[in-house]
Structure 1
Amino acid sequence: MKDWTRRGFFLGAGTATLGACSTGTGSTERFKIDRRTQEALRDMRGKLPFTADLEQKAAGMLVMPVVGKAGLIYGGSYGEGSLLIGGAPVDYYSVASASFGLQIGVQKLSTVLFFMSHDRLAKFRSRNGWTIGADLEYTLIDSAENAAVDSNTYKDEVYGVVFGQKGLHAGVTLEGSKYSRIIR
């Protein structure tokens, strides 16, 4: 009877150890997203100082630190990031899009969606699979030269900021991008 108990103990301990290893893989991805998110925010603050005001007033921010885009007639993009509330990550999301048309190029970029109202943030979090342009109206800010956020434009509920573009791909848009919650 003692042999069975010892075998059961070692079998259980081995299973728990393997289970802990598999859980660690997901958390490694989560930590990688968190690190990239903080790097992207530092980059955004350095290049686009006006976003500090948006950041202070936002109910939440969805940060996609690296979104890869590629296209040769058919195109697509994909990235993973985190939803920050009060500066802390609360959920993880992926963004994906597909397109067809006259296009060519490869590009990496970063995006941040600023949710300016708690109501809009709650609606975003309550839906699984959320598409820009179909599920909400937003204001896109794609260059610091065009940025003019003041008391007249603060009535918008969501701002999309694009920055850190590397590579060459014609056009910048968030339209049609689908955001989905992921487990990390």
Structure 2
Amino acid sequence: MRFPFLCTLAVAALAGSMGLTACTTTGETDTAPNTSARVALDAEVNDTLNRLYKVAPDTREMVAKAAGVLVFPSVIGGSFVVGGGYGRGAMLVDGRTQGYYSLGTGSIGWQIGAQSKSVIYVFNTREALAKFLDSTGWVAGVDATVAVAHIGANGRIDSETIRQPVVGFVMNNAGLEAGVSLQGTKISRISL
């Protein structure tokens, strides 16, 4: 009696998570140049950076000094045993958009549910930025180590974090997430 109920629950959860990922798939019209999509994404990028500055005020100076900043305003993830996430973002160099990118993640393990978060990569050195821009598919942890930012109880960025070539920030609705890993995240340039 219990087995059919569990099977039904598993199928319903899988269908729900597939529905969430279907919301993020791109169609043929997404590959054509689309000015309104770029304008909308650029606005979301700016909003995300402003949220980051409110949550961790030290990041404003860090971003201003950075060689480049890659911002994914909304990375949508869904999972049922096997999980994944997808988002689109923009690379800013000297405050100007230099290109658009997609982010993809995957994971395996007991997990269920869906969530949305913002992911920001700060490239503190020109060398790290150049390596990223020269790649055709950059993978965090393979092509470069990404230090996830440590924010102290006083809201200040850890001085060791600031010295890393690439620093990552992950934000949800409650603020910055701690103890997350960005390793294995693949980022590729896209046309928007």
Q: Same fold (TM over 0.5)?
A: yes
Name the structure 2 match of 1:46.
Answer: 54
2:124 to 113, 116, 124: 116
Unaligned runs of 5+ in 2: 1-29
Residue type matched to 1:51 in 2? T
Name the structure 2 match of 1:18.
Answer: none
Secondary structure of the structure 2 residue equivalent to 1:35:
helix
Name the structure 2 match of 1:163.
Answer: 171
Q: What CA distance in whole angstroms lies between the structure 1 residues aligned with 2:79 and 2:32?
A: 34
Secondary structure of the structure 1 residue equivalent to 2:61:
helix
Aligned pairs for 1:1-184 within 5 A: 26-141=34-149, 145=153, 148-150=157-159, 152-165=160-173, 172-184=180-192
Q: What CA distance in whole angstroms lies between the structure 1 residues aligned with 2:42 and 2:109?
A: 34
Answer yes or no: is the 8 Å Cα contact 2:56–2:157 preserved in 1.
Answer: no
Residue identity (%): 33
User: Closer, same or farther in 2 for the Cα pair 1:68/1:143, shift >3 Å?
Assistant: farther
- After TM superposition, the score normalised by the length of structure 2 is 0.75
Q: What CA distance in whole angstroms lies between the structure 2 residues aligned with 1:26 and 1:62?
A: 20
Distance apart, 1:125 and its partner CA: 0.3
Q: What CA distance in whole angstroms lies between the structure 2 residues aligned with 1:36 and 1:44?
A: 12
Distance apart, 1:88 and its partner CA: 0.8
Distance apart, 1:148 and its partner CA: 3.5
Secondary structure of the structure 1 residue equivalent to 2:91:
strand
Report which of the two structures shows the higher radius of gyration computed on alpha carbons: 1
RMSD between aligned alpha carbons?
Answer: 2.3
Is 81-90 or 42-51 further displaced after alignment? Answer: 42-51
Unaligned runs of 5+ in 1: 1-21
Secondary structure of the structure 2 residue equivalent to 1:39:
helix
User: Closer, same or farther in 2 for the Cα pair 1:82/1:98, shift >3 Å?
Assistant: same
Answer yes or no: is the 8 Å Cα contact 1:48–1:144 preserved in 2.
Answer: no
Secondary structure of the structure 1 residue equivalent to 2:34:
helix
Q: What CA distance in whole angstroms lies between the structure 1 residues aligned with 2:67 and 2:108?
A: 35
Residue type matched to 1:113 in 2? Y
- Name the count of aligned residue pairs: 158
Answer yes or no: is the 8 Å Cα contact 1:84–1:90 preserved in 2.
Answer: yes
User: Closer, same or farther in 2 for the Cα pair 1:165/1:103, shift >3 Å?
Assistant: farther
User: Closer, same or farther in 2 for the Cα pair 1:29/1:115, shift >3 Å?
Assistant: same
User: Closer, same or farther in 2 for the Cα pair 1:147/1:102, shift >3 Å?
Assistant: farther
- After TM superposition, the score normalised by the length of structure 1 is 0.78
